[in-house]
Amino acid sequence: MQRTLVTVLRRLALAVGLVLAVLAVNFTLIHAAPGDPALVIAGEMGGADEATMATIRKTYGLDRPLHEQFFTYLGKSVRGDLGTSYTYNRPVIDLILGRLGPTVLLVLTALLCAIVIGTGLGVLASRRPDSFGSGVVTVFSLVGYAMPVFWTGILLVILFGKVWPVMPIAGMRDVRAFGAGPWQAALDVAHHLVLPAATLAIVYLAQYSRLSRASMLEVLGSDYIRTARAKGLSDAVVTFKHALRNALMPIVTIAGLQFGNLISGAVLVETVFSWPGLGTLALDAILGRDYPTLLGVLTFSAILVIVANLITDLSYRWIDPRLRGR
Amino acid sequence: MSTEALSPWREAWRVFSSNKAAVLGLLMLAVVAATMVFGPGLYGVSAFDIAGAPFTAPFTDPKLWLGTDYLGRDVLAGVLIGGRATVLVGLSAAAVAVTIGVTIGALAGYFGGWVDLALSRVTELFQVLPALLFAMVLVTLFRPSLTVVVFAIGVVAWTGTARLARAEFLRLTHLEFANAARALGAGHLRLMLREILPNALPPLIVSATLIVGAAILFEAGLSFLGLSDPNVMSWGLMIGSNRRNILECWWAVTFPGAMIFATVLAVSLIGDGLNDALNPKLHLR
Amino acid sequence: MSLLAVEDLSVEFRTRRGVARVLDRVSLGIERGQTLGVVGESGCGKSVTALAMLRLIASPPGRITGGRVHFDGRDLLALSEDEMRQVRGNRVSMIFQEPMTSLNPAYTVGDQIAESVRLHQGLTRREAIERAAQMLDAVSIPDPARRVHEYPHQFSGGMRQRVMIAMALACQPDLLVADEPTTALDVTVQAQIFDLISELREKTGTAVMLITHDMGAVAEMTDRVAVMYAGHVVESAAVADVLREPLHPYTRGLIACAPGARTVAPGQLLDEIPGTVPSLVERGAGCLFAERCAHVQPRCRAELPPHSEPAPGRTVMCWLHTQ
């Protein structure tokens, strides 16, 4: 028990270190970019006048030596001060927190669908590795991977915008749903979520079905599966209790490793469906040369990935007892 | 016929060429490559020029097979030439990514100890930065041009290769042949480049192929967002610039997207074929 | 009536080079409480016989093409899959060669033992875990109340095989099939496991089918022996008879290379009997041992010898003993 606690604390320390490293990367970017760092911080088209620039130089200590600047920046960031968006005239942190929810909702829904359905398909395919259905899963996984995610999204927009208009193709809420009860509001968001989440899920669905098929095939050939069958357990128990849990390992690994890619995909999907998340915020920030907001989004999405990795790491210990106490 | 005389590479080619999907991938790639190399010259229409009325549907005007986009630009012209930038950037970015990845992974795996620890931490850092966002930041801060896009993608896409190269070097560094070369007085550089790298090549080649596919998707994504060079036509840019009008001219986004899809599919089929051919442990079935 | 009577069991495997007839009309029997040794080189079909009896052959590529497996008056090959599952792990249970990989790494050993008991005897979870602890005690694992909650990786190879035995015997089966239970273990541990199996057999009256390549183990542990070669049972008899007077040349070879020791490595047998096991895909017309046999006659290469019964309770498959 104590060893588990120590491991968890160690993992947490590493995660905090990574967050600091991400901030260091941000700092480097601000100073490595061509031009005046103050301008970068202000954002070029934010309409920063001389007075604002002077304030920025002073708050960030831009006249001081570089290492002092670094610690000033670090100190401010750690306290949650990621600067001010001069485009919106609001603290960056407020902007980001307002957009974090929709992105997390989108990403988690897609990931959950991809893992559950993908793994399910892979398991089905692994039970008859040479069957037609198994071949379909293989083809589907190749096709799903090769489709550019924004193109998939656009095809869905065309399909549901023109041919079969049963799904909303943009935004997260319907104006008509404002002022409705909480259940109706949730239902409205869910309705808007279908297409973006499906778009994002398809890519990963393809990969997980393929991965879980391979992983299940390997596990099903192992000695302890033979033991389980020799005990008289039914096919379902052998597959889902004895095989699946061991086959989950590579799936969880990839899910953790790919969380960053998932967020990258979300940027594109949000753009296609005008989903009000971090991705659209980042794109708006780019169009408005609003660098503090852009860097803030980068920092926060990195934190999301770090948290996801932490969860992955801890779930290993649940799946494979051999890793406990390491 | 004697099979023993075949070199491992010849044997790999034999396995690869007997794989129908991989050969299909190779054919598809050849067609795509021919299209973008010879297509624009043969067709002779600029992808940026206004060629007809906006929103001309495909197969209605005999001069504009694939119709025109929201500005009246010829979609076929864009489809033909749009692959050049995409594939060029994809290949160059993959080369950058593989170079960084192999270098970092090789150093970490070969030297071990604190070098490994430090480089593994760096790899971890780049793994948590969402690649597209990071590339978006780089492109924005350093102005979009093909070179910046190549480096932006290269800088975010190397971590997988680094992990793989590290594992391979870790495994190979202490094997007999490497020890023998070391005993004969081979220096670090010689050992790494001449002795270990050739043995680590098969999985690295497979991984490099997969990165080419990923880098093409990546370039397409950046262009779609309008973050690549606006003066170079590419499939992603075509889709991105027609984004607001997709319900009026579905053809302007569908055809370039299908080209990206076909290219990436071809590359992944080839990658799968290479994987089967070069990683013999997977032959047991 | 015998507890188990395998009659003319045949199994084929589809391979890249063609269909391999892995078992060819195998017959053997075990009485209640008796121990049968099934002995032969690796690849002779002894493990496949055990798996086929319990219908655990992976299909594809394997297929049972004929025969009957009478167990306690029923033909197992004719049962439905549901009925068959009530036999596996309950009436007939099995332990395997590789204790290191035969237990599921994701569950505690207690859970894995309890799973059988709950399934076949309808015990509650708590009762089943209690039974699991009793079983660990019975196979001489110290501190069973604590270790029942531990995972396989916390046990050594010998201890894991003890866990496997505990799991196999938890439902008090009529027959325990032990497939090379000691091959993967250290020599000292091998002796302990054999002693444990003998002890538990005496205590519970379970019949045992011991699959091994080791004639020494057969001599020490079993009542009867069936010698297998290339998918055939070439000789079967009481152990004492076989040791006193082996009839088949192959049996003689096996006994010659195991002078009372149980520590012969699998590869060693091959060195002592010249030649290798023939391909099962391209079987010739004659005796499959002919190429390696010191007493080979022209007839051996032309025609497969029948099973003859030179004495009651004794069979042999060799032209030397057909008269």
Please tell me which residue of chain A has the smallest CA distance to C149: A321
Task: Give the pLDDT confidence of A114-144 residue by residue, as tens digits.
Answer: 999 988 888 888 877 777 777 788 888 888 8
* pLDDT of res. B261: 92
Contacts A230 to C, Cβ<8 Å: 54, 56, 88-89, 93-94
Residue with tokens 């202490």: B174
**Phi-psi category of residue A243: left, alpha or beta, with phi > 0 → left and psi -120 to 50 → alpha:** alpha
Q: What CA dihedral angle connects B91, B97, B102 and B108, to 10 degrees?
A: 180
CA atoms within 13 A on the CB side of A259: 27
Tracing tokens 């916390």 back to the chain, one arrives at C154
| Rounded percentage of chain A residues whose pLDDT exceeds 90 | 10
- A122 contacts A208 by C-beta, under 8 angstroms: yes
Put simply, the answer to whether C105 touches A319 (Cβ < 8 Å) is no
Q: Is A306 near chain B, with CB under 8 Å?
A: yes
DSSP letters, B70-84, are TT-BBHHHHHHHHHH
Q: What is the mean pLDDT of residues A300-308?
A: 90
Higher pLDDT, B264 or C262: B264
Whether residue C96 lies within 8 A of chain A, CB to CB, comes out as yes
Q: How far is CA A20 from the centre of its chain?
A: 19
A 76-95 residues with CB below 8 A of B? none
Cβ atoms C287, C300 nearer than 8 A = yes
Long-range CB pairs of A158-165 (<8 Å, 24+ gap) are A158/B246, A158/B247, A158/B250, A158/B253, A158/B254, A160/A195, A161/B246, A161/B247, A162/B247, A162/B250
Domains belonging to chain A, first-starting first, are: 36-79 (no CATH), 93-323 (1.10.3720.10)
SS3 call for C14: strand
For the cut 50, the answer to whether the pLDDT of residue A101 exceeds it is yes
Domains and CATH numbers, chain C: 4-91+171-316 (3.40.50.300), 100-170 (no CATH)
pLDDT of C217:
83
Give Rg (Cα) of chain C: 20
Answer with the residue of higher pLDDT: C92 or B65.
C92
Q: How many CB atoms lie within 10 A of CB C1?
A: 9
Token duo for residue B47: 């992808």
CA distance B43 to chain A (A): 26
A41 touches chain B (CB under 8 A): no
Residues whose CB is less than 8 angstroms from the CB of residue B252 and which lie 6 or more positions away in sequence, other chains included: B67, B68, B69, B70, B75, B238, B239, B242, B245, B246
Interface check C151 vs A, CB under 8 A: yes
Q: Which residue has the tokens 């498959």?
A: C317
Give residue-wise pLDDT tens across range B170-215: 888 777 777 777 777 777 777 777 777 777 788 888 888 888 988 8
Beta-carbon neighbour count of residue B244 at 10 Å? 9
Cis check: omega of the bond before C60, within 30 degrees of 0: yes
- Which tens digits make up the pLDDT trace of A45-59? 455 677 777 777 777
Q: Distance (Å, rounded) from C-alpha C176 to C-alpha A232?
A: 14
C106 touches chain A (CB under 8 A): yes
Residue A1 contacts C where some CB pair is shorter than 8 Å: no
Determine which of C104, C154, C174, C180 to mutate to test the interface with A (most A C-beta atoms within 10 Å). Answer: C104
pLDDT at position B48: 73
Which H or E element spans position A292? helix A291-319
Minimal Cα distance from B267: which residue of A? Answer: A146
Q: Which domains does chain B have, with CATH numbers?
A: 12-43+63-282 (1.10.3720.10)
pTM of the model: 0.80
The more confidently predicted of residues A163 and C154 is: C154
What letter would DSSP give residue C21? Answer: E
Residue whose tokens read 């010249």: C274
In the prediction, which pLDDT does A43 show?
64
Winning range, highest mean pLDDT, from A182-196, B74-88, C136-150: C136-150
Q: Tell me: the pLDDT tens digits for A14-36? A: 888 888 898 888 888 877 777 67
pLDDT in tens, B210-260: 889 888 998 889 888 888 888 888 888 888 888 887 777 778 788 888 889
Q: In this model, does residue C25 exceed pLDDT 60?
A: yes
DSSP secondary-structure letter at B198? H
Among partner residues C88, C98, C119, which is closest to A230 by beta-carbon distance? Answer: C88
How does residue A1 score in pLDDT terms, banded at 50, 70 and 90? low
Least confident range from B28-37, B166-175, C177-186, C262-271: namely C262-271
A11 min Cα distance to partner chain C (Å): 23
Separation between Cα atoms, residue C89 and residue C175, nearest integer Å: 10
**Cβ neighbours of C207 (radius 10 Å):** 23
Q: Which is it for the CA torsion A120, A122, A123, A125, positive or negative?
A: positive
Q: What is the pLDDT of residues B91-150, one digit of tens each?
A: 999 999 999 998 998 888 888 888 888 898 888 888 888 888 888 888 888 877 888 889
The full length of chain A comes to 326
Task: Over range B268-281, report the average pLDDT.
Answer: 79
C278 versus C77: the higher-pLDDT residue is C77
Query: Of B55-64, C102-111, C218-227, C253-262, which gets the smallest average pLDDT?
Result: C253-262
Q: Three-state SS for C197?
A: helix
CB contact under 8 A, C103 and A224: yes
**Residue B274 pLDDT greater than 50, yes or no:** yes
Q: Is A294 close to B136, i.e. CB distance below 8 A?
A: yes
**A228 in contact with chain C, both atoms CB, cutoff 8 A:** yes
Q: Mean per-residue pLDDT for B31-38?
A: 85
Rounded to a whole number of angstroms, the distance from the CA of B283 to the nearest CA of chain A is: 13
Q: What residues of A are in contact with residue C167 (Cβ under 8 Å)?
A: 227, 231
E-strand stretches of A64-213: 84-85, 90-91
- Nearest Cα residue in chain A from B249: A158
Chain A residues whose beta carbon lies within 8 Å of the beta carbon of residue C102? 223-224, 226-227
Q: Do A321 and C85 touch (CB under 8 A)?
A: no
Distance, CA of A81 to CA of A72 (rounded, Å) = 11
User: DSSP string spanning A63-89?
Assistant: TS-HHHHHHHHHHHHHTT---EETTTT
